[in-house]
């Protein structure tokens, strides 16, 4: 059978030299994707529901301490370790390079979460509960997941879908910059760029050619679609 092809290959570039660790992207993601709220106790138990998290690492000894911020989200790997291990095909690779998660197919074996080296997969340990008036804030374009189901960053597939429908109505391709996931839209210093890596003139494709590029856990061979830029740090400022 032929492998399905698509003119789009979604990718993201995150510029770590611009990231201030403010966390606005995390909040935006939560708001856009109807992510459940977690209290302090459950957070400490390791049950937080962040699809996108800011990892903070401290380097060095006082007074030469630096904080490093790393926004970590689903890398949408082209050779995703989470996909072959799902017994029911709830995790699969779609032709546009996204790692898809099918909520109503997931039986909750959690094998995918074990095999994800980036630990970006999130499990619904309980049914979500939003105290009033938060249910009014839920995004109607995104389902609310029940307990027992795995979820993770989808590159705001609902926004990609919407853009594809609009483009189809107007009989054109999706323009560069038309699709903005919630995190990219919100980031104040503009550290997150999203677009079509298959289009060599798109912003993400140009940024991805930067000499500062790196990918996480490259040696594991997962071939992620998220490219980080790092290297023009404070020490270059003279």
Partner 1 sequence: MELLGVFENVDDAAAAVDGLIAAGCPERVITSVTSVPYPEGVLVDNTRRSWFHWLALGGALVGACAGFLLAAGTAWLYPLQTGDKPIIALFPTGIITYEFMMLCAMLGTMLGMFLEMRLPDLGRRAYDPEIANGLIGISVTVNGDEMVQRAETALNSAGALRVLNDEVS
Partner 2 sequence: MPADRIKAIAASNEAMLSSTRPANWRWYLLAFLLGIVVATGLYAFAHQMLTGMAVTGINRPVMWGLYIINFVFWVGLSHSGTMVSAILRLSHANWRRPILRGAEAMTVFSITVGGLFPLIHLGRNWTFYYMIPYPNQYGLWPNFRSALLWDMMAITTYIIGSSLFLFLGLLPDLAVARDRATGWKKMPLAILALGWRGTAQQWKTYARASTLMACLVIPVAVSVHSIVSWDFAVTLVPGWHSTIFPPYFVIGAITSGVAAVITLMIVIRKAFRLEAFLRPIHFDNMAKLLLTVCLIWSYFYFAEVFTTWYGHKPIEWEVFSFLHSHYALPLFVMLLGNTLVPIPFLMWKRVRRSIPALLVISLLVNVAMFTERFLIIVPSLSHKNVPFLWGTYDPTWVELSITAAAFAGFGLLYMLFAKFFPIVAITDVREETEALRGESQRGRTRLATLVNEE
What the block records as the tokens of 59 is 């380097």
**47-63: buried (b, 16+ CB within 10 Å) or exposed (e) per residue?**
bebbbbbbeeeeeeeee
**Looking at the chain, which runs of residues are DSSP E strands?**
10-15, 53-59, 66-72, 91-93, 99-101, 122-123, 150-151, 192-196, 213-214, 226-229
Compute how many residues bind partner 1; rule: CB under 8 A.
Answer: 18
Q: How many CB atoms lie within 10 A of CB 16?
A: 19
Which 8-state DSSP code applies to residue 90? S
Is residue 106 a contact residue for partner 1 (CB under 8 A)?
no
Based on the shown chain and the rule CB under 8 A, indicate whether residue 217 belongs to the binding site for partner 1: no
Min dist CB 78 to partner 1, Å, is 7
Shortest separation between residue 7's beta carbon and partner 2, angstroms: 27
Longest dimension (CA), the chain: 61
Q: C-beta of 93: minimal distance to partner 1 in Å?
A: 4
Provide the binding-site residues for partner 2, judged by CB under 8 A: 42, 45-48, 53, 55-57, 70, 72, 81, 84-89, 105-111, 113-115, 117-119, 121-127, 146-150, 217, 220, 222
By beta-carbon proximity to partner 1, the closer residue of 95 and 233 is: 95
Select the span of 31-39, 85-93, 139-147, 173-181 touching partner 1 (CB under 8 A).
Answer: 85-93
User: In the complex with partner 1, which residue's Cβ is closer, 74 or 77?
Assistant: 77
* Cα–Cα distance for residue pair 25/184, rounded to 1 Å: 7
For 214: left if phi > 0, alpha if psi spans -120 to 50, otherwise beta; the answer is beta
Closest CB to partner 2 among 113 and 163? 113
Residue of 29, 72, 74, 83 interacting with partner 1 (CB under 8 A): 83
Residue 46 partner contact from partner 1, partner 2, none using kind-dependent CB cut-offs of 5 to 8 Å: partner 2
Residue 124, contacted partner among partner 1, partner 2, none, CB below 5-8 A by kind: partner 2
């Amino acid at each position: 059978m032929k492998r399905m092809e698509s003119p789009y290959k979604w990718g993201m570039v995150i510029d770590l030299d611009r990231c201030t660790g403010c966390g606005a992207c995390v909040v935006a993601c939560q708001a856009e994707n109807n992510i459940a709220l977690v209290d302090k106790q459950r957070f400490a138990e390791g049950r937080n529901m962040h699809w996108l998290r800011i990892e903070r690492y401290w380097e060095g000894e006082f007074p030469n301490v630096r904080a490093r911020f790393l926004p970590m989200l689903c890398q949408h790997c082209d050779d995703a370790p989470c996909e072959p291990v799902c017994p029911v095909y709830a995790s699969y690779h779609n032709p546009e390079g996204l790692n898809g998660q099918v909520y109503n197919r997931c039986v909750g074996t959690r094998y995918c979460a074990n095999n994800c080296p980036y630990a970006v997969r999130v499990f619904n340990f309980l049914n979500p509960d939003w105290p009033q008036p938060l249910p009014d804030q839920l995004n109607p374009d995104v389902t609310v997941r029940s307990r027992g189901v795995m979820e993770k960053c989808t590159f705001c597939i609902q926004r990609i879908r919407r853009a594809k429908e609009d483009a189809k109505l107007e009989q054109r391709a999706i323009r560069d910059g038309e699709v903005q996931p919630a995190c990219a839209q919100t980031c104040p210093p503009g550290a997150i760029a999203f677009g079509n890596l298959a289009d060599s003139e798109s912003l993400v494709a140009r940024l991805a050619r930067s000499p500062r590029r790196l990918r996480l856990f490259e040696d594991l061979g997962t071939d992620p679609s998220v490219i980080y830029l790092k290297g023009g740090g404070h020490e270059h400022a003279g």
